[in-house]
Amino acid sequence: MKILRLTCCLFVLLLFLVAFTFSPSAQASGPQSGGGGGGGNCMLSGVTVCSLTIVSGRIILAGTTVLITATATCTTPAGFSFEFANGNVGITQVSHQQIVQANSSFILTTCDGTAQTLQVAVSPSAGSPPFHGGRANATGSLAPVCFLDSSGIQQCTSLVTTQGIHITG
């Protein structure tokens, strides 16, 4: 049983390291196009309506929580009205030969084209090893970002971006 568990952990670690080493600086999925420099964009009716860029990670609160700084922008396209936008930031890091993952949600309350700086606190679950200073993957998403068109029909879009970060602290 120990060999099976060790083999599984090593396989997950290998997948993480391959993804971290060979992934582009940004990946976008869903109905949008990717951006460079650790960010992504989402499109609606051929217009970029939102973007998310992960900037950095810093350990706080006795080494158990990482504060992720990100920048989000949401712009309501002509003929639409903003309804809502939900987001999430997650971290994956190898710690003490284990994969540590955690995430936290946020809500965008405005969609007027202004860049919003977000600071999202991310903590591993109880019993999980803590995050530590060093390399990690941060994944950010805006999903869904929803608008009402002029007929009152809801139209939504989303984005996911992954960025290698260096946790300091």
**Residues of the domain holding 26:** 2-168
- 6 pLDDT exceeds 50? no
Amino acid present at 112 = D
Q: Mention every residue, 6+ apart, whose C-beta is less than 8 A from residue 113.
A: 73, 74, 75, 76
Can you tell me the mean pLDDT for 102-120? 96
Q: Given this model, what pLDDT does residue 38 score?
A: 65
Structure pTM?
0.74
Can you tell me the mean pLDDT for 131-142? 93
Q: Given this model, what pLDDT does residue 27 score?
A: 27
Report the alpha-carbon distance of residue 43 to residue 103 in Å, rounded: 24
Residues 28-75 have pLDDT tens digits of 233 332 333 468 999 999 999 999 999 888 887 766 899 999 999 999
Residues 63-110 have pLDDT tens digits of 689 999 999 999 999 999 999 999 999 999 998 789 999 999 999 999
- 121 pLDDT exceeds 70? yes
CATH number, domain at 142? 2.60.40
- 158 pLDDT exceeds 90? yes
Q: Given this model, what pLDDT does residue 57 score?
A: 87
* Residue 79 three-state SS: coil
* Residue 14 three-state SS: helix
Number of domains in the chain: 1
Report the alpha-carbon distance of residue 27 to residue 38 in Å, rounded: 8
Report the alpha-carbon distance of residue 163 to residue 24 in Å, rounded: 8
